[in-house]
Amino acid sequence: MRRLATLALAASAAWNSSVLCATPAPEEGKVVGLAFVGRMVSDLDRSVAFYKTLGFGQDPAANPAWRRDEVIEKLYGIAHVETRMAKMYVVNSSSGRHFAVYLRELRGLPRTNQSDHTAWDPGVSHFGLIVPDAQKTWSQLEAAGLLRARSWGGKLIAPPGQTKGMLAYLTDPDGLDIELIDQRPAAPAEDGRPGRPALLPGVNHVGLVVLDSDKARAFYGDLLGGKLLTTEAPWLKGDFYDSAVGGHGNILRFYNEVFADASAASTAHLNFELVEFQNRKKPVVPARIADAGVGYVGVEVQGLDAFLKKVKAAGGKTISSSGIVTMRSGTREIMVRDPDVGGFVELFEHPAKKVTEGP
């Protein structure tokens, strides 16, 4: 079935609050929603400049100064390092609310740079970013010396039947993938083709290359609560799919799962895209969360202790050296790896709000 006309897929289609089924009581552990993306960088100043060129804002309340943070050390399973962090934000195209991308640099320990990979290596993550004018953004990155394109010829790619380039993969300064997508208006159904929703500026989806889609769907879907937009996932191939990611001979399929946006109302959502390549079953290259070029996702939960037991039972592995850690804010969190490609997931739980009695 060829209606998947772009790598963005129709990411905002056919979703509303009814797809979120009943969830267990908090004491049993449940997912609130997808909350943020994290990226480990080698030069924070360079990365901040890159993301600002893409249209991201920077949260001034997040101080990017170097400091020792023993909680972060425990969370990452490392010791005796300094860290600095920038909180960048962009709109979630579904909710209209800010979606955060945390950039973190470490020093004081040997770090491997994971930037030397392809867009189809197992465990590689990306996010889809819709912009008002993809060609303008592309040209601005190129003029600033920040464009690192994966696409054929270093150009935006036109979907089948179109002449205007509207999407392509590029990487940030540490090789982390971004799928840049041009905004488009909604289109009505015609000539037997279904209608398509508008693609509005902002983060459209988060993606991960997996080895075993059944195992990955069991973890990110059955356990973490992602709801499949469709169970149909045909294998796709051709120049369009190759040219966008810079490959040749790719055979791939997508599973799009809908997650609630943890920072917004219950009707807001964000897509998590599992990408499986039929002919790219390479072994996973082990990486540490501390390495430059590593990405992770943040998932808010309620009942973290109970939920962590489910994660372990499902094959997830913890990397935090002392289990669940508590931030100065009272938020409790732990870093785990999925059982398929070892993708990093930061699970966290905000402290319960105190209820004050009235007069």
User: pLDDT band at 19, cuts 50/70/90?
Assistant: very low
CA angle centred on 16, ends 339 and 127, rounded to 5°: 45
Rounded (5°) CA angle 54-62-292: 60
CA dist 52 and 74 (Å) reads 30
The residue-averaged pLDDT of 304-309 equals: 96
CA distances from 312 to 27, 209, 306, 307 (A): 17, 22, 10, 9
Do 70 and 139 contact (CB within 8 A), yes or no?
A: no
Q: Which pLDDT value is given to residue 266?
A: 59
Supply the pLDDT for residue 232: 80
Average pLDDT of the chain to the nearest whole number:
88
Confidence (pTM): 0.89
List pLDDT tens digits, range 174-211. Answer: 999 999 999 998 888 887 777 778 888 999 899 999 99
State both tokens at 316.
Answer: 């997830």
Q: Is pLDDT at 8 greater than 70 in this prediction?
A: no
Determine the pLDDT at residue 264.
65
pLDDT tens digits for range 70-115: 999 999 999 999 999 999 999 887 777 889 999 999 999 999 888 8
Contact between 256 and 287 (Cβ < 8 Å): no
Confidence of residue 15 (pLDDT cuts 50, 70, 90): very low
Res. 21 pLDDT band, cuts 50 70 90: very low
Q: Which two tokens stand for residue 232?
A: 């149909």
**Maximum CA pair distance of the chain?**
70
Lookup result for tokens 């997912």: 31
Domains of the chain: 34-349 (3.10.180.10)
Q: Please state the three-class secondary structure of the chain as a single string.
A: CCCCCCCCCCCCCCCCHHHCCCCCCHHHCEEEEEEEEEEECCCHHHHHHHHHHCCCEECCCCCCCCECCHHHHHHHCCCCCEEEEEEEEEEECCCCCEEEEEEEEEECCCCCECCCCCCCCCCCEEEEEEECCHHHHHHHHHHCCCCCECCHHHCCECCCCCCCCCEEEEECCCCCEEEEEECECCECCECCECCECCECCEEEEEEEEECCHHHHHHHHHHHCCCEECCCCCCCECCHHHHHHHCCCCCCEEEEEEEEEECCCCCCCEEEEEEEEECCCCCCCCCCCCCCECCEEEEEEEECHHHHHHHHHHCCCEECCCCCCEECCCCCEEEEEECCCCCCEEEEEECCCCCCCCCC
pLDDT at 354: 60
* Least confident piece of the model among 86-95, 130-139, 214-223: 86-95
By C-alpha distance, which of 187, 177, 199 is closest to 132?
A: 199
Cα-flanking dihedrals φ and ψ of residue 77, to 5°?
Answer: 70, 35
